[in-house]
Amino acid sequence: MTSELIRYDATRLAELIRTRQVSPVEVVQAHLDRIEAVDPRVNAIVTVADTALATAKAAEAAVMAGGALGPLHGVPFTVKDSIDTAGVPTQRGSPIFAGRTPDADAISVARLKGAGGILLAKTNLPEFSYGIESDNLLSGRTNNPWNLERTPGGSSGGESAAIAAGMSPLGLGTDLAISVRGPAAQTGITSLKATHGRVPMTGIWPRAPRRFWHVGPMARSVRDIALAYSLMAGADGADAFSSSAGPFDGGTGFALTRPLRIGWLVEPGFGPIDAEVAATVRTAADAFEGMGATVAPVRIPALERDFALDVFSRLHVMEMKPAFAEATAGRRDDELYRMAKTMLALPDTSMADYVDAEQAADRLRDGFADYFKRYDLLLTPVQPVPAQKHGLSEVVIAGQKVNALYLMASTVPLNVTGLPGMSIRFGTSRDGMPIGVQLVSTWWAESTLLHAASMLESASAVRDLHPSF
CB 368 within 8 A of CB 422: no
Cα angle vertex 200, ends 55, 319, to 5°? 125
Looking at 23, 82, 94, 155, which residue is catalytic?
Answer: 155
Distance CA 340, CA 329 (A): 11
List CB contacts of 318: < 8 A, sequence separation 6 or more: 348, 349, 354
Would you call 155 a catalytic residue per the annotation? yes
Looking at 80, 113, 193, 321, which residue is catalytic?
Answer: 80
User: How many alpha carbons fall within 13 Å on the CB side of residue 452?
Assistant: 36
Closest of 369, 454, 376 to residue 192, by C-alpha = 454
Ramachandran assignment for 398, one of left (phi > 0), alpha (psi -120 to 50 degrees), beta (any other): left
Closest of 218, 199, 268 to residue 424, by C-alpha = 218
C-alpha R_g of the chain: 21
- Which residue pairs from 280-285 have beta carbons closer than 8 angstroms and sit at least 24 positions apart in sequence? 280/381, 280/426, 280/427, 280/435, 280/436, 280/437, 281/379, 281/380, 281/381, 281/437, 283/426, 283/427, 284/379, 284/426, 284/437, 284/456, 285/379
Distance CA 118, CA 121 (A): 9
Looking at 63-169, which runs of residues are DSSP E strands?
76-80, 118-123, 135-136, 140-141
Burial of 282 (0-12, 13-18, 19+ CB in 10 A): middle
Name 217's bridge partners.
Answer: 172
Q: Tell me whether the omega of the peptide bond preceding residue 209 falls within 30 degrees of 0, making it cis.
A: yes
Burial of 395 (0-12, 13-18, 19+ CB in 10 A): buried
Looking at 108, 129, 139, 179, which residue is catalytic?
Answer: 179
Instruction: Provide the annotated active-site residues.
Output: 80, 155, 179
